[in-house]
Amino acid sequence: MSETKDALVVFMPSGRRGRFAHGTPLLDAARSLGVYVESVCGGRGLCGRCQVTPTAGRFAKHKITSSPETLSAVGDVEARYTRRRALPADRRLSCQARIGGDLVVDVPTDSAVNKQIVRKRAETRHIDRDPAVRLMYVEVAEPDMANPSGDLDRLQQALAREWMVDGARLDPPLLPHLQKVLRAGGWKVTAAIHDDSAGPVIIGLWPELRQRAFGLAVDIGSTTIAAHLVDLMSGRTVASAGTANPQVRFGEDLMSRVSYVLMNPDGLPALTEAVRGAVSGLIDKVAAEANAGRDDIMDATFVGNPVMHHIFLGLDPTELGGAPFALAVSGPVAVPAREIGVEIHPGARVYVLPCIAGHVGADAAAATLAEAPHRGEAITLLVDVGTNAEIVLGSRDRLLAASSPTGPAFEGAEISCGQRAAPGAIERVRIDPETLEPKIKVIGCDRWSDEPEFAVESPAVGVTGICGSGIVETIAEMFLAGIIDEDGVVDGTMLERSDRVVSDGRTFSYVLWREGSVAVRVTQTDVRAIQLAKAALYAGVRLLMDRLGVENVDRIRLAGAFGSYIDPKYAMVLGLIPDCALDQVAAVGNAAGTGARMALLNRGHRREVEKLVRDVEKIETAMEPKFQAHFVSAMAFPNKTEPFPRLAEAVALPVRSGPAAGDPPRRRGGRRRRTG
Amino acid sequence: MSETKDALVVFMPSGRRGRFAHGTPLLDAARSLGVYVESVCGGRGLCGRCQVTPTAGRFAKHKITSSPETLSAVGDVEARYTRRRALPADRRLSCQARIGGDLVVDVPTDSAVNKQIVRKRAETRHIDRDPAVRLMYVEVAEPDMANPSGDLDRLQQALAREWMVDGARLDPPLLPHLQKVLRAGGWKVTAAIHDDSAGPVIIGLWPELRQRAFGLAVDIGSTTIAAHLVDLMSGRTVASAGTANPQVRFGEDLMSRVSYVLMNPDGLPALTEAVRGAVSGLIDKVAAEANAGRDDIMDATFVGNPVMHHIFLGLDPTELGGAPFALAVSGPVAVPAREIGVEIHPGARVYVLPCIAGHVGADAAAATLAEAPHRGEAITLLVDVGTNAEIVLGSRDRLLAASSPTGPAFEGAEISCGQRAAPGAIERVRIDPETLEPKIKVIGCDRWSDEPEFAVESPAVGVTGICGSGIVETIAEMFLAGIIDEDGVVDGTMLERSDRVVSDGRTFSYVLWREGSVAVRVTQTDVRAIQLAKAALYAGVRLLMDRLGVENVDRIRLAGAFGSYIDPKYAMVLGLIPDCALDQVAAVGNAAGTGARMALLNRGHRREVEKLVRDVEKIETAMEPKFQAHFVSAMAFPNKTEPFPRLAEAVALPVRSGPAAGDPPRRRGGRRRRTG
């Protein structure tokens, strides 16, 4: 060993480097540097997961000349693997190849799933992989009369010897299967080890080498439930599915479901069964899509708002219906899946992410984990708009969270022509400021209504209503066109300029679409509903900004379905969100689901979300005296008292009527101020 | 604090002493010295378990003058307790009484259950108390909107703050009850914490102060199952019950039950259900006797031989039916009771003691724990005789274990007039060496058969047969009377001396009892059966003595039902056990049950039995070449080759026929040699 100088080895892409004695297996070298190279078979050349690519040549940057030919020759074990599985020509099994000289090694991303790219819809995200469940192949000592010990005890010894897993307990449901599996595998078995905060547990056991383990990440929303099946071995999301939350039949919104539980003795079990049944259906779907069985799913993470979180766990949500909005559990819940009726592998575990407060749930915690305001220096505003808007604001220095009761207007409810996002719903609107004529886009058709193809390609149902994102855009365009003023009053004088503006008696409406006897219109009451909703949201955001002592935010992230579909520009024109450079406002899709997948794939992210939930300052907006004042100012478009200079650079806003806060709404035409 | 000198306080009976600042509560002083004083209420003066007796006067031995009057006066809290519960006049609540001067304090054994005396049948045993389950009263912070956190999280904080229990997890079945219990108790609750090797778990929760928790210790024997209900708060055994093992209908002995499992696809579930059902019946019995509910039982320990251990846990025992006699599990099994069908409190835990080897089970481990050869310097032989004899030999320096296949003769099976121990069975025998006339005692009557009252008081069934202990005594008396010789041959020449000796053709029998047409006799075949059984046992013992390198043992402990009823003297006369001073031979009753209670009451005993099972050297007698030679010598009474000098000092043994080992049995009269 000491007759030759130790070799310098650099692992890419991490660039970690170290000197190693000749003869050291590359796998051992990687591990000693903390470079994550997967191995299920424990270095026996069976699983092929430890593949690496040695590279040749002079690397000026690393100051070494890499010589792959110094590696030990391909031996029997590696040759046998190559015959079975076709190892690419430039690859070696790092458990077999031994260091013989200086070397630069690429750890390829397809086998070294450490830095795995996960694709889900348009979203790309790196999730470092360190799952709670790992597969470990072991060769167990056979029973020996001269040295008697139990099958389990010898399995535990093998895990300790080969994988440094000490004191692994056996999950009780495995007890009756232990003997058979060990004998079926000829004392060669693969164990699934769950190792999170409660210590290592043997939760699965199969004969011989097994390299198949999936995890489930579920986001239980009030309206929809989404499930993702993730390959724990690669980190890839292999299937996704969604379904309507069947609890809707007990109540459209959260509070009506809480009332149902309060009023019906069997309400809680019925609601719990409904959501668990829906989850079970999704498991079937994603498993079928990935050609997997329920038994292949070894771990699961769940997120949801506090009411969904409680009902899913069988916890009474009625305490969440009134002050002090006490959660039964705010910390993470880690339980065997079988204890809460999730039928996957009998030994599988469930990890339910922690809730932040009575109105800020595990979904918000997961979205925060995913968007990571706590990791950066930028003051980030994260908003998830639903019946309650969940608001997180801050940076690595300090993080605040609150919720604001926006009501269901943003979801198309309480709007006269509002409807759920479905084919036929208007989702995009442009109003010509001169003619006041609109053009629209509906869900299910890519054409604008002024394009000739629209008549042919628009959905057979016709134009049926306006969805949540459509109403925001419509009202913003009405404001920009001067049809409504900054106080939200539909200008009756416009009656003269366009037949789109019609009288409803004392107030006026704007007709967005006419087709036969059907008219899709926005009424004064609709505008008021949106004003109330957006004022509640903005007042909450503004309160957090006060607390944090900032006048501006650097970045805005809009999470959730509504956040994904609204145009950030129109949201800011209406003053839903504070002024910010438009290129720093982005929809982040199902950030809660992303957070659930992160917690599924990496135990470190579990500790991270637990810490951020402990550390985040929880603000109860209802208890803040300034909330009302902020709310009143925020009734105006975009705001009665606050300037939106960065928005004004990007959009021609109507000229302000004046700085006076709390003016009563007046009937007055909007005037345009062109800037930028 | 520093203006007066710290006070010297001595706690009795431990004698632990320390100096404490004036104002220190006695409870805190005791704890800081490691003196175990119970408290459920956490020092609030509610539970009264921390009572101590301050004593007055000069204690020369401790070199202090104890002045109880220096203690703080009885305050409101203590006075309130005294009104409710009548504290004895000399007692103080140590959580309330604060040190004010030198003091000697008695920790009474009725409240300081640390050193509790447990009475069970005639047996008295001290078991230091440190149970895995403890009750802890806490006052939980109420929900606070300004500082939101879950009910569970606040309960966990209270446990950490008041009891130093960090990171207690909640047992999943408690989840749905958490909210209700906390509110029912007005945020004052008692938690049951199970804290053994897997970390603290909240397994029970009740409103307000609760001081009621029981544990169950069960010994599953092949023939009978015994259960003890123990008050975990005091350490007392409050109820015991036994029942026949209903598995008997699947097979009398262990191997026939193993065969049943092998031959019948549903055999294992049927046997498992039978034993679990019997345990359930016993739980009802002991709970009723102690006026307790199943829900009051929070912990349980189980012992049994390997086959019973496996079947109870739902593990296939067929591997135990042949070499290499592989146990599925040899280490301890710690699982929630609900996972293995033990219906006690939903959160209760079960701890199954470890097995030593394929034929030396958790019952032997428990008996060893109870008799503690590993703690002393004396070479101790512990024997539990059943169908297999389990043998443990050694001292603190080294411990060996083995089993020996004695067969069922000692249990009265394979004996022509043998029967189970039941009323009517002969259990005591004396034979007059001159007249060869016997007198007997039967189970169910305290009189000898030569007393006039025998006819009246003996059981109505009459004399029905001989039980296991009776057969040992009969054959030993026959040997001492010269009716059989050292080789076990019934001497046909005795025919002339007594009509008790009768011819069976080529061999002879001895008639122990005649009544009408019924005769209870001992045949030559019966003697042979006992010879084979006792030779197997002795050969096993002798092998362990060889291994240990000893010619004598210092102490012998006979465990189990058979061991309890046989007279050690007769066992030694027959050579079941090696030569030993008779006063060092004792029956220890259900030592396995005692070990189970020890593991129930003290976690330290769990670690102790785990360590002793790991450390004990397991000897497989069948693999030892010398076994056969020992067996042949041991066929003779007491032994063909080995002297029994200490026995000979106590008992007049017949004169030896000679030292020749392996002589074929010869028909020859026994001669008596009187010694001592």
B489-544 pLDDT, tens digit per residue, is 999 999 999 999 999 999 999 999 998 888 999 999 999 999 999 999 999 999 99
The mean pLDDT value for B148-168 works out to 95
pLDDT digits (tens, 9 = 90+) for A643-656: 999 999 999 999 87
Sign of CA dihedral A203, A205, A209, A213: negative
pLDDT above 50 (res B667): no
Q: Which two tokens stand for residue A326?
A: 């006490």
Choose among B172, B334, B356: nearest Cβ to A335.
B172
Q: Which two tokens stand for residue A79?
A: 């040759």
Q: What is the spatial distance between Cα B403 and Cα B391, in angstroms, rounded to a whole number?
A: 6
Decide if B336 and A144 are in contact by the 8 Å CB cutoff: no
Chain A contact present for B339, CB below 8 A: yes
pLDDT of residue A665: 44
pLDDT above 90 (res B62): no
Decide if B179 and A328 are in contact by the 8 Å CB cutoff: yes
Q: What is the spatial distance between Cα B136 and Cα B150, in angstroms, rounded to a whole number?
A: 20
A222 and A252 Cβ atoms separated by less than 8 Å:
no
Decide if B333 and A175 are in contact by the 8 Å CB cutoff: yes
Chain A contact present for B218, CB below 8 A: no
Decide if B169 and A334 are in contact by the 8 Å CB cutoff: yes
Q: What is the spatial distance between Cα A625 and Cα A619, in angstroms, rounded to a whole number?
A: 12
Cβ atoms within 10 A of the Cβ of B630, count? 23
pLDDT of residue A380: 98
pLDDT of residue A136: 96
Q: Which two tokens stand for residue A218?
A: 């579920």
Q: In terms of Cα–Cα distance, which of A596, A597, A537, A602 is closest to A309?
A: A596
Choose among A143, A356, A357: nearest Cβ to B324.
A143
pLDDT of residue B500: 95
Task: Name which of B240-254, B314-328, B603-617 the model is least confident about.
Answer: B240-254
* Distance from chain centroid for Cα B182: 39
Domains of chain B listed by start with CATH number: 7-112 (3.10.20.30), 133-207 (3.10.20.880), 214-352 (3.30.420.480), 366-408+529-655 (no CATH), 412-522 (no CATH)
Chain B contact present for A176, CB below 8 A: yes
Residue recorded with tokens 């030592």: B591
pLDDT above 80 (res B57): yes
Chain B residue with minimum CA distance to A354: B150
Write down the mean pLDDT value for chain B.
90
Give the mutation candidate from B147, B157, B166, B175 for the A interface (greatest A CB count, under 10 A).
B175
Helix (H, G, I), strand (E, B) or coil at B155: helix
pLDDT of residue B674: 42
In Å, how far is B610's CA from the nearest CA of chain A?
12
Per-window interface: A 306-335 vs B, CB < 8 A: 313-316, 319, 323-331, 333-335
Axis-axis angle for helices A267-289, A254-263 (nearest 10): 130
pLDDT digits (tens, 9 = 90+) for B411-461: 777 889 988 788 889 999 999 999 999 999 999 899 999 999 998 888 888
Q: What is the spatial distance between Cα A327 and Cα A221, in angstroms, rounded to a whole number?
A: 18
Per-window interface: B 509-548 vs A, CB < 8 A: none
Helix (H, G, I), strand (E, B) or coil at B15: coil
Give the mutation candidate from B156, B177, B179, B311 for the A interface (greatest A CB count, under 10 A).
B179
Chain A residue with minimum CA distance to B401: A148
The helix (H) or strand (E) run that includes residue A29 is helix A26-32
In Å, how far is B326's CA from the nearest CA of chain A?
6
Helix (H, G, I), strand (E, B) or coil at B493: helix
The mean pLDDT value for B69-82 works out to 91
pLDDT of residue A110: 55
The mean pLDDT value for B465-484 works out to 94
Chain B contact present for A336, CB below 8 A: yes
Q: What is the pTM of this model?
A: 0.86
pLDDT digits (tens, 9 = 90+) for B345-354: 999 999 999 9
In angstroms, the Cα distances linking A199 to A335, A432, A505 are 13, 64, 70
pLDDT of residue B611: 98
Q: In terms of Cα–Cα distance, which of B634, B672, B670, B669 is closest to B651?
A: B672
Give the helix ranges, DSSP H, for B549-590.
Answer: 560-565, 568-574
ipTM of the complex: 0.86
Decide if A620 and B173 are in contact by the 8 Å CB cutoff: no
Chain A contact present for B130, CB below 8 A: no
In Å, how far is B237's CA from the nearest CA of chain A?
29
Residue recorded with tokens 């301050």: B54
Decide if A173 and B339 are in contact by the 8 Å CB cutoff: yes
Cβ atoms within 10 A of the Cβ of A675, count? 11
Cβ atoms within 10 A of the Cβ of A201, count? 23
pLDDT above 70 (res B676): no
pLDDT digits (tens, 9 = 90+) for B309-336: 999 999 999 999 998 999 999 999 999 9
Chain A residue with minimum CA distance to B149: A330
Give the mutation candidate from B178, B327, B390 for the A interface (greatest A CB count, under 10 A).
B327
pLDDT of residue A1: 43
Contacts of A166 in chain B (CB under 8 A): none
Q: What is the spatial distance between Cα B511 and Cα B593, in angstroms, rounded to a whole number?
A: 38
Give the mutation candidate from A140, A142, A144, A153 for the B interface (greatest B CB count, under 10 A).
A153
Strand partners, B7: B20
Per-window interface: A 380-439 vs B, CB < 8 A: none
Contacts of B187 in chain A (CB under 8 A): none
Between B580 and B385, the higher pLDDT residue: B580
Contacts of A148 in chain B (CB under 8 A): 324-327, 330, 356-358, 618, 620
Q: Which residues of chain A have pLDDT under 50?
A: 1-3, 111-123, 660-676
* Distance from chain centroid for Cα A153: 41
Angle at A269 between CA B293 and CA B296, to 5 degrees: 10
pLDDT of residue A109: 65
pLDDT of residue A124: 55
pLDDT of residue A128: 81
